[in-house]
Amino acid sequence: MSTLFKLISLLAGCARREKLIVLTYHRIFHELDEMYPGEVDIVKFTWQMELLKCYFNVLSLADAMAHLKAGTLPPKAVCISFDDGYQSCYTEVLPVLQNFDFSACFFIVSSTLEQQAMWNDSIVEAIRVIPGEVLDLQCLGLDVYPLDNRAEVAKSIVASVKYLPFLERNEVCQEIVGLSAVSMPSLMLTKEQVIEMKKVGMEIGGHTVNHPILKNLTLSDAELEIRDNKLDLEQILDTPVRFFAYPNGRLGEDFDLEHAIIVEGCGYEAALTTDWGCIDKNSNLWQLPRFTPWDNSPLGFMLRMLAGYWIR
């Protein structure tokens, strides 16, 4: 298998232009959780990092942006990023990154620091323990859900709630949590952990104050979300915050070009989306693509990376 991986790495290095892949993750699980099927656990994350160490050139986001502007990107360049600010970034991810001498960028939702959970995780944790065999949420404008597959129910509810107006989304979330009497786990980073991550060489980026869908806000409210998030993080870190990631992150669906203009106006150096793709010298610095490596096998991971460098 190592011979095949070397061949894939060689082909990736032969891409026609200097290219950069940015991988994006969220929460890394200590072990597989049936309520989050398909999510990346620490075992999968570790072997992915091992493959990056063996076959690719992993750069900090700041170094990668400097090389991109100078036209000096090394072949098979990769950056690692995390969205939202889960505590697992400190407890699970940081030791692995340090073991491989990698620096990653962590995009932080500032209002969730010191808090227990993001809105979507609150729904998942509520559905995990909510009593009964059927959940009737018609009073909230949702459906009636048989609870024979709770992971699928949680996924469906999160998808239905995600694009509601921000305040309505929070109200629906609170109503569902109230039905469950769930004891919410502490899932989010603390300010002290963010400070420590920065001290040991990690990049901290902005991800708004409350993780709204920016397209659902007025432009003035969107600017407050983006600008205040940057100010919050800079006050915590006492250092400039240079990079931003759009919540949910798809151009035209979650944010528009007006929001990219706001991000640039707030003093960020670049912004990342979740639109699938590879970055090169022609990429718009305010719409940089990323993707998540969901692959369950090393071969699948390597082939996905190869495809990334060869897409147009």
Residue 146 is predicted with a pLDDT of: 96
The pTM score is 0.94
Report how far Cα 39 is from the mean position of its chain's Cα atoms. 12
The pLDDT score that the predictor gives to residue 155 is 95
Q: What is the pLDDT of residue 312?
A: 58
3-state DSSP assignment of residue 242: coil
Instruction: Return d(Cα 197, Cα 87) in angstroms, integer.
Output: 11
Domain ranges in the chain are 2-115+188-310, 119-180
pLDDT string in tens for the chain (312-residue length): 678 877 777 777 776 668 999 999 999 999 989 999 888 999 999 999 999 999 999 999 999 999 999 999 999 999 999 999 999 999 999 999 999 999 999 999 999 999 889 999 999 999 999 999 999 999 999 999 999 999 999 999 999 999 998 889 999 999 999 998 888 889 999 999 999 999 999 999 999 999 999 999 999 999 999 999 999 999 999 999 999 999 999 999 999 999 999 999 999 999 999 999 999 999 999 999 999 988 889 999 999 998 888 875
Burial class (CB in 10 A: 0-12, 13-18, 19+), 183: exposed
The helix (H) or strand (E) run that includes residue 225 is: helix 219-237
Q: Which two tokens stand for residue 182?
A: 């769930």
Contact between residue 92 and residue 30 where contact means Cβ atoms under 8 Å apart? yes
147 contacts 134 by C-beta, under 8 angstroms = yes
Write down the pLDDT at residue 14: 73
User: What gap in Å lies between CA 122 and CA 129, rounded to an integer?
Assistant: 11
| Superfamily for domain range 2-115+188-310 | Glycoside hydrolase/deacetylase (3.20.20.370)
Among 119, 132, 109, 213, CA closest to 175: 119
Predicted pLDDT of residue 16: 62
Measured CA to CA, the distance from residue 64 to residue 73 in angstroms comes to 7
